[in-house]
Amino acid sequence: MTQATPTQNLSERLKGLFLAPADARVYAAVRIGFAFVALLNLMQIWPDREIFFTDAGMVDHETVRKFTVGFYRSVFYFCTDLSAVSTYMLFSGAAMVALMLGVWPRAAAAVVYVWQFSYAMRAPLVLVGWDEVLRCTAFLVLVSPMPACWCLQSREARKKAASAPPPLRYGLTLMQVQLATIYIHAVLARLGDEYWMGGDFMSFFLLSHNARWPGLWVLNYGTLLKGVTYLVLLVELAIPVLLVVRRWRWWGFAAGFLLHAGISLMAYNLMLFFLSMMTLYLSFLQKEDMDWLERKLGRRG
């Protein structure tokens, strides 16, 4: 019996990461979670749609096109007044509901991705961190398998779905890589920042208008907040490692939840960032997690 070479072992591991069978329920959880958060984001944007997207707003589309690097690709090129913008947003919202329910999910995911891309191109001045996360996740959901699981379908379709082969796990792997990339990039971007490297970021942030409870009380906790600043960097580096090691992954879930819950608690208007990141965490769920969840839900039902 010949022993596998290191190259063959690496090849098999890579195949397992992308081509091994995955639990359809995990894909369904990501699909539903992403669609829900994307819908919440659209609802938050809705009251400001005239200011953000119409020619009567803060920037007309010709100015945006002029300063766009590369080719300007946005549905808002054709939607320049309030009625057209409102119609397009309602259409995109309907696609998010359809994606959540699993109704024509691939087409719905395509519509949602175009929405995420279009509004980012049209209103770059108002983009925040979770817009980038949602746009990346929208693309990954679009190219991932769409198993007929946890969705509205006929009895015949459910029987057909039950006998279908399990989906490949490449989509979940790409989402996991995306989450790790976000954290690693965040830490690397801060290495040259004097406030992060000096340990003063948390103190300055909590004294700013972005903090939920700014005040001079912050000055009494300078040493503690310096430690918290460095702790955030360590946690962001540790989370990807914790999540990929099977016996440590729930520590990774807990660390990520506490990190983003803490950010949402101490800062204004960052709940959508918390929810957007948690959507990517769903890709780390395993079959036993879904079995446990279904047992709990079945017992309560």
Calculate helix-pair angle for 105-122, 24-45, nearest 10 degrees. 40
Q: Would residue 12 count as lying in a domain?
A: no
Query: CA 23, CA 289: separation in Å to the nearest integer?
Result: 10
| Alpha-carbon gap, residue 10 to 276, rounded angstroms | 32
Residue 10 lies in a domain: no
Final residue in a domain of this structure, among 121, 143, 168 = 168
pLDDT at 154 over 70: no
Burial (CB count within 10 angstroms: exposed 0-12, middle 13-18, buried 19+), residue 296: exposed
Looking at the fold, whether 159 and 186 belong to one and the same domain comes out as: no
CB of 290 closer than 8 Å to CB of 26: yes
- The DSSP secondary-structure symbol of 78 reads T
What is the CA angle 131-86-102, rounded to 5?
65
59 inside domain: yes
pLDDT band at 134 (very low <50, low <70, confident <90, very high): very high
Cβ–Cβ under 8 Å, residues 14 and 131: no
- Please state the domain count of the chain: 2
| 159 and 176, same domain (yes or no) | no
Closest to 286 in 3D by CA, of 49, 36, 20, 99: 20
Q: Do 105 and 198 reside in the same domain of the chain? A: no
One domain for residues 176 and 159: no
Residue after which a domain boundary falls, among 146, 168, 190 = 168
What confidence tens digit (pLDDT) does each residue in 42-53 have? 999 999 999 999
| Domain final residue, candidates 168, 183, 215 | 168
What's the rounded Cα separation, in Å, for the pair 105 and 147? 9
Say if 4 falls within a structural domain.
Answer: no
Residue 239 lies in a domain: yes
* Same domain (yes/no): 160, 262: no
Residues 224 and 295 both lie in one domain? yes
Tell whether 151 and 176 lie within a shared domain: no
Within 10 angstroms of residue 169's Cβ, the number of other Cβ atoms is 22
d(CA 130, CA 136): 10
Residue 52: closest CA among 118, 139, 114, 110? 118
Residue 244 within any structural domain of the chain: yes
Same domain, 119 and 178: no
pLDDT at 297: 75
Q: What is the pLDDT of residues 166-191, one digit of tens each?
A: 899 999 999 999 999 999 999 999 99
What CA–CA distance (Å, rounded) separates 155 from 109?
24
Give me the helix-helix angle, 105-122 and 129-143, nearest 10°: 150
**Is 253 among the domain residues?**
yes
Residue 157 is predicted with a pLDDT of 64
| 197 and 241 inside one domain | yes
Tokens of 243: 């999540």
In this predicted structure, the answer to whether residue 31 has a pLDDT above a threshold of 50 is yes
39: containing domain: 23-168
Q: Is the pLDDT of residue 71 over 60?
A: yes
- On whether both 173 and 298 belong to a single domain, the answer is yes
Is there a domain that residue 13 lies in? Answer: no
Percent of all residues in the chain with a pLDDT value above 70, rounded to a whole number: 92
- For the full predicted model, state whether its pTM sits above 0.95: no
242 and 292 fall within a common domain: yes
Question: Both 53 and 175 in a single domain?
Answer: no
- CA–CA separation, 18 vs 8, rounded Å? 16
